[in-house]
Chains A and B, each alone.
Chain A
């Protein structure tokens, strides 16, 4: 199938969605039940209506949907020099995905072990880090939401946000200073005589995992806090009066209540961790495996944009699957977690 078909499809789909919106509005106007209601333009006035349509239209179409579609489109196209794009050789192909699986666009003899393990490791580690962040944050979030007095709460909030004013790269850099072979941890360990050779935390990925767990804690914290904050304190009191043990209160009252918060926190942390580029670049050792730097290299080392697009899409699909999985697991809708 030639790539020009894809170009048509890319533009036809948004146009069809817009037509659907327009049709719904048109049918509404004709519905006699709505006779007295005002239409979109009458309700907003044409200057504001124009602003709304242009701003939202440009945003959704040119900044969200079309870029995504063209990335998907590109990922199915062969690597060609730009002058040949759309030319006679530009047919859709699965080459880029085949490369991800087998390390070659032609042979399927051997698995692409490096990329596949990097991908699997990234996903599994991200899940583990998401779980770890939940475990770290839950007691603090519960304390803030249900125990702390207002003054203490304000202070804790401020202290939670403060570290996140420092940008992501510098936060990673801070971990590098801590964990490097001449870093403070090694220095202290050696001075105390526990070790006599510096431990290479970077190569062992200790620094990377610590840094990643640190990087997006705040998202989990606030998601949990917001959910727990709406939990009725009387419920906890009542359970306690009835003699429920402490773990019972958390397992059967607090955590079920915080489900939407857990879901939204997990989704965000997973997405940010799996997609993080800064921490692996700064904290990864020479043999560290993380998927995003590989994607980056497809673009700016291998200059193979088609393949890069395919890799990016694989990552995106993994994130979508994770989000859907979480929604299914917690039996929630998207609107409940995206807050």
Chain B
């Protein structure tokens, strides 16, 4: 056997072990959601049950947390998508000498531990609201949205920067030349161009917000989100209802992923069809010219 094939066999084994490490714990957890014992276990598997899902959905705290998480997620999307877009558009316009400083400031939240973002947000707004008397602002939901958006905006900004790099600025000029105002150029040209990035940035913003714990646990104050409720439960002890929650989350995201993949494939097919049309039209043009000449 050549050394090359030994290597590839070793590599195959390694990849298998790696993915076993990646999925094993999750599969085990998923199975415990369907096993009857009150303590999450797969072995021995006593009997199949869906009761843990019922327990989960009957849990008022969890359901409250879920609604709160969704609300916060939506608000974070509404804040971080426009802010990230503005941050990305600003990048090329900041004076060249200040650009690296600007970059440092706006990506720093990505490199700052989440707990610190949560703590600093709470500390700042507690002082500010006490000084200014804007008490309603010192609220778990508001602070969580602000704290999460501070780093999620940096994520969305990076997504927008990548897309902006492929933006052809002559499109802007073409629109201006046809009489559009700057605002119309922004609305009719830039935003539609950014739409795919806005879609993926929204998804990423929502998911990052929904699953965030480190920042939220500080910023949420006395309120609670699904993840903080979950963390509280885990500290009290473990039950298969939590596995059921995980299974539900995975099921929902897998559905989302399948939908996304489906849409993407459809879009790709459409693009192929258009490219085919284009080459047909090209051929027809050439034929017409050739006939003219003849």
Q: Is B277 an interface residue (CB 8 A)?
A: no
Contacts of A184 in B (CB 8 A): 28, 41-43
- Give the nearest-CB partner of A183 in chain B: B41
In the bound complex, do residue B115 and residue A312 qualify as a contact, i.e. CB atoms below 8 Å apart?
Answer: yes
Q: Of the candidates A160, A167, A319, which one forms a contact with B113 in the assembled complex, judged by CB atoms under 8 Å apart?
A: A319
A335 in contact with B249 given A168-B211, A180-B238 (CB within 8 Å): no
Q: Is A330 an interface residue (CB 8 A)?
A: no
B17 to chain A, nearest CB (A): 10
Q: Is A117 an interface residue (CB 8 A)?
A: no
Contact string against B for A residues 135-179, beta-carbon threshold 8 Å, 1 for contact and 0 otherwise: 010011001000100000000101110110111111111111110
In the bound complex, do residue B26 and residue A174 qualify as a contact, i.e. CB atoms below 8 Å apart?
Answer: yes
A48 in contact with B186 given A166-B246, A184-B43 (CB within 8 Å): yes
Contacts of A288 in B (CB 8 A): none
A85 in contact with B95 given A45-B182, A47-B182, A59-B150 (CB within 8 Å): no
A319 in contact with B217 given A47-B182, A65-B105, A160-B22 (CB within 8 Å): no
A156 to B14, CA, bound (A): 13
In the bound complex, do residue A173 and residue B242 qualify as a contact, i.e. CB atoms below 8 Å apart?
Answer: yes
Q: Of the candidates B7, B25, B43, B217, which one forms a contact with A214 in the assembled complex, judged by CB atoms under 8 Å apart?
A: B25
A62 to B109, CA, bound (A): 13
- Give the nearest-CB partner of A148 in chain B: B15
In the bound complex, do residue B250 and residue A165 qualify as a contact, i.e. CB atoms below 8 Å apart?
Answer: yes
In the bound complex, do residue B23 and residue A163 qualify as a contact, i.e. CB atoms below 8 Å apart?
Answer: yes
Q: Is A33 an interface residue (CB 8 A)?
A: no
In the bound complex, do residue A335 and residue B119 qualify as a contact, i.e. CB atoms below 8 Å apart?
Answer: no
The stretch of A94-102, A254-262, A291-299 in contact with B is A291-299
A40 to B210, CA, bound (A): 36
Contacts of B105 in A (CB 8 A): 60, 64-65
Q: Is B97 an interface residue (CB 8 A)?
A: yes
In the bound complex, do residue B103 and residue A271 qualify as a contact, i.e. CB atoms below 8 Å apart?
Answer: no
A85 to B123, CA, bound (A): 13
Q: Is B32 an interface residue (CB 8 A)?
A: yes
The stretch of B48-56, B80-88, B192-200, B283-291 in contact with A is B80-88
Q: Of the candidates B25, B124, B214, which one forms a contact with A277 in the assembled complex, judged by CB atoms under 8 Å apart?
A: B214
- Give the nearest-CB partner of B261 in chain A: A158
A173 in contact with B246 given A45-B186, A140-B18 (CB within 8 Å): yes
In the bound complex, do residue B238 and residue A278 qualify as a contact, i.e. CB atoms below 8 Å apart?
Answer: no
Contacts of A305 in B (CB 8 A): 123
A271 in contact with B26 given A60-B106, A74-B123 (CB within 8 Å): no
Contact string against A for B residues 101-116, beta-carbon threshold 8 Å, 1 for contact and 0 otherwise: 1011111111111111
- Give the nearest-CB partner of A20 in chain B: B98
In the bound complex, do residue B213 and residue A277 qualify as a contact, i.e. CB atoms below 8 Å apart?
Answer: yes
List the count of A-B residue pairs having beta carbons below 8 Å apart: 257
A71 in contact with B116 given A59-B153, A282-B234, A339-B158 (CB within 8 Å): yes
In the bound complex, do residue A70 and residue B28 qualify as a contact, i.e. CB atoms below 8 Å apart?
Answer: no
A63 in contact with B111 given A24-B95, A177-B25 (CB within 8 Å): no
Q: Of the candidates B85, B116, B130, B211, which one forms a contact with A315 in the assembled complex, judged by CB atoms under 8 Å apart?
A: B116
Q: Is A9 an interface residue (CB 8 A)?
A: no
A contacts with B, residue count (CB < 8 A): 97
A52 to B117, CA, bound (A): 23
A163 in contact with B26 given A67-B121, A168-B213, A315-B116 (CB within 8 Å): yes
In the bound complex, do residue A71 and residue B119 qualify as a contact, i.e. CB atoms below 8 Å apart?
Answer: yes
Q: Is A68 an interface residue (CB 8 A)?
A: yes
- Give the nearest-CB partner of B210 in chain A: A167
Q: Is B136 an interface residue (CB 8 A)?
A: no
Q: Of the candidates B25, B85, B86, B109, which one forms a contact with A174 in the assembled complex, judged by CB atoms under 8 Å apart?
A: B25
Contacts of B19 in A (CB 8 A): 159
In the bound complex, do residue A170 and residue B238 qualify as a contact, i.e. CB atoms below 8 Å apart?
Answer: no
Q: Is A323 an interface residue (CB 8 A)?
A: yes
Q: Is A252 an interface residue (CB 8 A)?
A: no
- Give the nearest-CB partner of A272 in chain B: B113
Contacts of A60 in B (CB 8 A): 105-106
A70 in contact with B127 given A21-B95, A281-B231 (CB within 8 Å): yes
In the bound complex, do residue A63 and residue B213 qualify as a contact, i.e. CB atoms below 8 Å apart?
Answer: no
- Give the nearest-CB partner of B181 in chain A: A45
In the bound complex, do residue B230 and residue A28 qualify as a contact, i.e. CB atoms below 8 Å apart?
Answer: no
A159 in contact with B130 given A70-B124, A309-B119, A319-B111 (CB within 8 Å): no
Interface residues in A268-293 (C-beta closer than 8 Å to B) = 268, 271-272, 274-278, 281-282, 292
In the bound complex, do residue A316 and residue B28 qualify as a contact, i.e. CB atoms below 8 Å apart?
Answer: no
Contacts of A136 in B (CB 8 A): 18
In the bound complex, do residue B243 and residue A177 qualify as a contact, i.e. CB atoms below 8 Å apart?
Answer: yes
In the bound complex, do residue B83 and residue A169 qualify as a contact, i.e. CB atoms below 8 Å apart?
Answer: no
A35 to B249, CA, bound (A): 58
Q: Is B57 an interface residue (CB 8 A)?
A: no
Contacts of B26 in A (CB 8 A): 163, 166, 171, 174
A residues adjacent to B (C-beta < 8 A): 17, 20-21, 24-25, 28, 40, 43-48, 51-52, 55-56, 58-60, 62-71, 74, 82, 85, 136, 139-140, 143, 147, 156, 158-160, 162-163, 165-178, 180, 182-184, 187-188, 191, 214, 217, 246, 267-268, 271-272, 274-278, 281-282, 292, 295-296, 299, 305, 308-309, 312-313, 315-316, 319, 323, 333-335, 338-339
In the complex, besides A156-B15, A176-B234, 6 extra interface pairs with C-beta distance below 8 angstroms are A24-B97, A64-B150, A167-B227, A175-B25, A184-B43, A275-B115
Nearest first, the 5 closest Cβ-Cβ pairs linking A and B are: A45-B182, A275-B113, A55-B86, A167-B211, A67-B120
B residues adjacent to A (C-beta < 8 A): 7, 11, 14-15, 18-19, 21-26, 28-29, 32, 39-44, 82-83, 85-87, 89-90, 93-95, 97-98, 100-101, 103-117, 119-121, 123-125, 127, 130, 146-147, 149-150, 153, 158, 181-183, 185-186, 207, 210-211, 213-214, 217-218, 227, 230-231, 234-235, 238, 242-243, 245-246, 249-250, 253-254, 257
